[in-house]
Amino acid sequence: MSGDWVRVAAPATTSNIGPGFDTFGLAMSEPCDIIEGRKIDSGFEITEVSGPGSENIPTDPKINSVSIAAERVLKRCDAEFGIELKIKKGIRPCSGMGSSGASAAGGAFLANILCGEKLGPVDMILCAAHAEDVISGGLHADNVSPCILGGFTLIRSYEPFDVIRIEPPANLGMVVALPDIMVATSDARKVLPREVSVRDLVFHVGNASTLVYGMMTGDLSTIGRSVKDAIFEPAREKLVPFLKEAEKTAMSNGALASFLGGSGPCIMSFYDTDVGFGDVIAEKVKEVYTQNNIGCDTWITKPGVGCRRI
Ligand code: HSE
């Protein structure tokens, strides 16, 4: 048995966003992974993987984010079929742009369509987060939540799982600069401190609160000054050459905030689309890397919707 192909787009996402380690996430309107699947009698078969970094994507369904998440959905739905998958990466792995999260969320979303959309968004997020746990060495749903729900998402609690979606301001622009450096989330999680000080905790709670206020009220200036991280980004700085120089360059060329995207190495910058400068920020941050003989891709993007059928 083989059914009709179903095709979904799963967007890149940025997570942490300064003070919201493992809790804040934001979907981007581009780039996206494209995942296609169709029902087969049983099991999982990954018959095609293409796009940037696809040479590093395993085709063994046991260790592939798409199939791990999709399998979880089939189990939850008591489905009695398997899925053949084709994966077209638009987001390269080890980028800090939610590559494994897009694969996981896309896999869960696609499998749910094949199951007759039995699961709601939160269950899809949990299936995708399971894949993130297996692949990246730590349960975190801050990429898969915005990837499913779109917009800006806040995870209040993991147990029980409780996530809230907020529509980000329409004039929030995003610039992504991705240097030719690979940082695996599993490695970036190993360098994190096990304990934090009360001082840093207070700093993070304050900035996280005002960042959410800014997202809810469209106050870009408050968002800009709230994207601060005293704990996680400093611990990871050593994994990303020229990170501080890139951030300073973005800030001096019109960015409202510039920060390590997820576990890195991408450098994310926010800017006001009513004011502009997205192209200047992209060009100048890219230059920081190219002048140091490191290639760098850039995207000028904005917040976007979650997984969708195409
Ligand atoms: N919150 C996760 C981390 C995101 O920073 O490890 C990984 O992309």
User: What number does the ligand 1 atom closest to the CA of 100 have?
Assistant: 8
Q: How far apart are CA 229 and CA 15, in angstroms?
A: 12
**pTM of structure:** 0.95
Q: What is the pLDDT of residue 137?
A: 74
Locus of tokens 């609690």: 157
CA quadruple 139, 58, 46, 261: dihedral sign? positive
User: Is the pLDDT confidence value at 1 over 80?
Assistant: no
Q: Tens digit of pLDDT for each residue in 139-189?
A: 889 999 999 999 999 999 999 999 999 999 999 999 999 999 999 988 999
Identify which of 13, 16, 154 to mutate to test ligand 1's pocket (most ligand atoms within 8 A of the CB). 16
Evaluated on CA atoms 43, 145, 22, 183, the torsion sign reads positive
Q: Where are the alpha helices (DSSP H) in 9-160?
A: 65-76, 99-114, 121-136, 144-149
Q: What's the CA gap between 68 and 110, in Å, rounded? A: 12
pLDDT digits (tens, 9 = 90+) for 109-134: 999 999 999 999 999 999 999 999 99
**Active site (annotated) includes residue 237:** no
Ligand 1 pocket, 11 CB below 6 A? no
Specify whether the CB–CB gap between 153 and 140 falls below 8 A: no
> Is the bond into 241 cis (omega within 30 degrees of 0)?
no
Collect all residues with Cβ–Cβ distance below 8 Å to 216 and sequence separation of at least 6. Answer: 166
DSSP 169: P
User: Please, which pLDDT band fits residue 99 given cuts at 50, 70 and 90?
Assistant: very high
The reply to whether 48 belongs to the active site is: no
Helix (H) or strand (E) holding 165: strand 161-166
